Structure 1
Amino acid sequence: MGKIELKAVEKWFGDIQVIKGVDLTIDDSEFVIFVGPSGCGKSTLLRMIAGLEETSRGEIIIDGRDATAEPPSKRGLAMVFQSYALYPHMTVKENMGFSLKTAGAPKAEQEEKVAEAARALRLEEYLERRPKDLSGGQRQRVAIGRSIVRDPTAFLFDEPLSNLDASLRVEMRYEIAKLHQALDATMIYVTHDQVEAMTLADRIVVLSAGRIEQVGSPRELYDHPANLFVAQFIGSPKMNILPCTVSDGAFALAGGGGGPVSGGEGATQLGIRPEAIDLVAPGTGHVDGIVDVTEYLGADAYLIIDCGASGSLTLRTDGETTLTPGAPVGLKFDDRKLHLFDAEGVALR
């Protein structure tokens, strides 16, 4: 079992509160990812769960046991850090089995568990190599394997892919996803990369300034953000936000333009995803603008449209577009995918 509960946990550094009363339940076998901007408290919260940071107030419950005051060694958790922290003079096999050796496990058990972990991570052919003979992705797999052999209650990952180049990050995302399926273990993962969060998580926890802004599946957060912060943090390119007013079943943009809308009375800001905007002839959509920048990405292209007083919008379109800077365009929003927020940034629809 690997259920973890946080009950009103707080973290203070002197007079500064960095974790502000977090309540969260992580179910057995669930893959939960903490995301948020730098300084939001996501790594601190992970370290509190691991026991590497003292919990100032509140409770941390692991499998029904109050572990708040327990040292890291008693919590049954395994942590994978951003740095591989492998022993350079040891082979892969020795690195992976080191924790079992220091715990006094029988040699046969060490051999068996290292072999199982090596099979799961496709490291069998590298067991006699040393870290200097491995790629960055292979070293990270060894670091994960070192955790697997301990058969932990849960795995904690602290930005494990941030030191890898772009292609290796994609490869390791696949490895971690397959590992979660194979082990069916509880995993808590910290990242600032929302692509990792969207592709790996069962649920995402969005943090800001030490508080949880929203918890939900990647689709829930993308389609139904609870507030303006989540709406703009989740999604790449981020959601377009335009100043507006809403009354009598219609919205009006600050720079001119608008259209009918259901709900959202009293909204002051309208949100629309880049892929929920269609190009139409000027004067026939919700707002008009001028193409400012074209970003070609192959299959897709992003158009940044200057809409005057309404601001700039980013639109995702087909990579075959021939529009160039200076071209006038009309923009039509998908009525089903409009998001409306009040003056406090709370979602109204």
Structure 2
Amino acid sequence: MGAIELKAVEKWYGELQVIKGIDLDIKDGEFIIFVGPSGCGKSTLLRMIGGLEETSRGAIVLDGTDVTDQPPSKRGLSMVFQSYALYPHMSVRDNMGFSLKTAGAPKSEIKEKVEEAARVLKLEPLLDRRPKDMSGGQRQRVAIGRSIVRAPTAFLFDEPLSNLDAALRVDMRLEIAKLHRSLETTMIYVTHDQVEAMTLADRIVVLDAGQIAQVGTPRELYNSPANLFVAQFIGSPKMNVMGCSFSGSDYQLEGARGGKYTGSGQPAHVGIRPEHITFCDVGSGQCDGEVEVVEYLGADCFVFVNCGPLGVLNVRVGGGETYEVGQKVGLSFQSEHVHFFSSDGAAV
């Protein structure tokens, strides 16, 4: 079992509060990802769960047991860090089995668990190599394997792929996804990478200045952000946001036209994602502008359109479409995908 409950947890460094009363229920076997900008408290919160940081206030409950004051060794959790932290003089086999050896486990048990973890992570051909003879991705798999042999209640990952190049990150992301399906163990994962969060998580916890901005599935956060912060943090490229005024059943964009508003509340901002804007004839959409930059990425193309008072809007189109810098265009917003936010940033 690996259910984890955070009850109004806080972290203070003297007069500085970095974690501000977080409540969170993590189900057994769930893959949870903490995301947020640098300094938002995501790694600190993970280390509090693992017992590496003291919890100033509140409680951390693991499978119904309050472990707030227990040391890391008593929590049954396993942590994988950004640094591989492998012993350079030991083989892969010895690195993976070291924690069991120091705990006094029988040699037969160590051999069995190391070989099973190696099979899961496809490390069998590397068991007799030393870390210096392996790639970064292989070393990270060894670090994960070292955690697996302990059969922890839950895995805690602190930006484990940030030291790898882009191609290796893709490979390791797939490995971690398959590992979670295979082990069915609770995993809590800290990252600043949008793609990792969207592709791996059952639920994403978006943190902002030590508080939870929103919790939900990747699809929920992308399609129904609770506020402007989440709307612009989740999604790459980020959502286009413009100021607007409101009159009756219509919204008006600054220096442009606008459209219908059927919600309740008083919107002050309009948001639209790049893929939900289409090009149209000048004068027929929500606004007009001039193509400023075109980024061709193969399957996709991002067209940056200067819309005067509205600023530069990003439009996502297929890679087969061509637009020229300086071209005058109209932009039409897909009405079912327009988001509205109040003056304090909350979704309306």
The TM-score range, normalised by the shorter chain, is over 0.9
**Where does residue 280 of structure 1 map in the other structure?**
280
**Where does residue 227 of structure 1 map in the other structure?**
227
For the residue of structure 2 that corresponds to 1:326, the secondary structure is: coil
Shift of 1:248: 1.3
The CA distance in 2 between the partners of 1:84 and 1:266, in whole Å, is 51
**Where does residue 304 of structure 2 map in the other structure?**
304
**Where does residue 294 of structure 2 map in the other structure?**
294
**Where does residue 194 of structure 2 map in the other structure?**
194
Runs (4+) of structure 1 exceeding 2 A deviation are none
**Where does residue 60 of structure 2 map in the other structure?**
60
The CA distance in 2 between the partners of 1:59 and 1:179, in whole Å, is 29
Q: How many residues align?
A: 348
In structure 1, the gaps of 5 or more residues are none
Shift of 1:247: 2.4
**Where does residue 129 of structure 2 map in the other structure?**
129
The CA distance in 2 between the partners of 1:322 and 1:155, in whole Å, is 46
For the residue of structure 2 that corresponds to 1:255, the secondary structure is: coil
The CA distance in 2 between the partners of 1:162 and 1:260, in whole Å, is 44
**Where does residue 41 of structure 1 map in the other structure?**
41
For the residue of structure 1 that corresponds to 2:160, the secondary structure is: coil
Shift of 1:255: 1.7
How much identity, in percent, do the aligned residues show?
A: 68
The answer as to 2:237 corresponding to 1:237 is yes
The CA distance in 2 between the partners of 1:289 and 1:249, in whole Å, is 25
Provide, for residues 164-213 of structure 1, a one-character-per-residue CA deviation record: whole Å limited to 9, x for no partner: 00000000000000000000000000001111000000000000100000
Provide, for residues 133-158 of structure 1, a one-character-per-residue CA deviation record: whole Å limited to 9, x for no partner: 00000000000000000000000000
For the residue of structure 1 that corresponds to 2:206, the secondary structure is: strand
Provide, for residues 194-241 of structure 1, a one-character-per-residue CA deviation record: whole Å limited to 9, x for no partner: 110000000000001000000000000000000000000000000000
Shift of 1:264: 4.5
Using structure 1 for the length normalisation, give the TM-score: 0.99
**Where does residue 16 of structure 2 map in the other structure?**
16
**Where does residue 257 of structure 2 map in the other structure?**
257
In structure 2, the gaps of 5 or more residues are none
Equivalent residue runs for 1:17-166 within 5 Å: 17-166=17-166
Shift of 1:261: 2.3
Shift of 1:246: 2.1
Q: Is contact 1:247-1:266 (8 Å) kept?
A: no
Q: Which moves more between the two structures, 296-305 or 246-255?
A: 246-255
**Where does residue 328 of structure 1 map in the other structure?**
328
Corresponding letter in the other structure for 1:345:
G
The CA distance in 1 between the partners of 2:29 and 2:259, in whole Å, is 46
The answer as to 2:181 corresponding to 1:181 is yes
Question: Against the structure 1 CA distance between its residues 308 and 209, is the aligned structure 2 distance closer, same or farther, given a 3 Å change threshold?
Answer: same
Shift of 1:260: 1.3
The answer as to 2:24 corresponding to 1:3 is no
The CA distance in 1 between the partners of 2:103 and 2:46, in whole Å, is 25
Corresponding letter in the other structure for 2:19:
I
Q: Is contact 1:101-1:110 (8 Å) kept?
A: yes
Provide, for residues 233-288 of structure 1, a one-character-per-residue CA deviation record: whole Å limited to 9, x for no partner: 00000000011012211110012211112115411100000000011111111111
* CA root-mean-square deviation: 0.6
For the residue of structure 2 that corresponds to 1:161, the secondary structure is: coil
For the residue of structure 1 that corresponds to 2:252, the secondary structure is: strand
